[in-house]
Each structure stands twice: as structure tokens, then as C-alpha cells.
Amino acid sequence: MRTTLSVDDEIDACLRRIAREQHRSYKDVVNDALAHGVEAIDVAQPQEEYRVESSAFGLKPGIDPARLNQVYDELESGV
């Protein structure tokens, strides 16, 4: 595929130097650099495991766990 890219001068100089030193075409060096760059950013970065530690707070006094539906209904009706 043919496309036009705007490349920073420093990157262009580095790519041209590599092509010259390795006796390769500029196109091949650019394609290899892009392929390696895509691999580097495409790999899922391991993230720290997210943990939530629970605490037993219990229910407020007067709330019967067997009647939670009733509490929900009362909250919904605004009683």
C-alpha cells in the first residue's frame, strides 16, 4: 500500500542512517520499524491486579434481612 506520512526529522535521519549502515532500502527499514512498533504497542500491557477488600459492616439496626424486599418497596414509595 502506498501512503504519505509526516515523519519527524530526527526519526527520518535515524531511519536513513540504519538503511545506509545495513545496506537496505529505506522502505524496508521503515516497514520493519513500523512492524516492531505495532508489536510493541499491540501487546496487552499487564496491569496490576485490582482487588477490593470487603468489610463486614452488617445491617443497620431494625433492618430484617428476611424483609429486604419490603425495605426496597418502602424506599421506592418514599415512605
pLDDT digit string, tens, across residues 13-50: 999 999 999 999 999 999 999 999 888 887 766 778 88
Sign, CA dihedral 7-8-9-11, equals: negative
How far is Cα 16 from Cα 9, in angstroms, rounded to an integer?
10
pTM of the model: 0.52
Domain borders along the chain are 9-42
Give the residue, 73 or 6, on which the prediction is more confident: 6
Sign, CA dihedral 25-27-29-31, equals: negative
How far is Cα 1 from Cα 62, in angstroms, rounded to an integer?
71
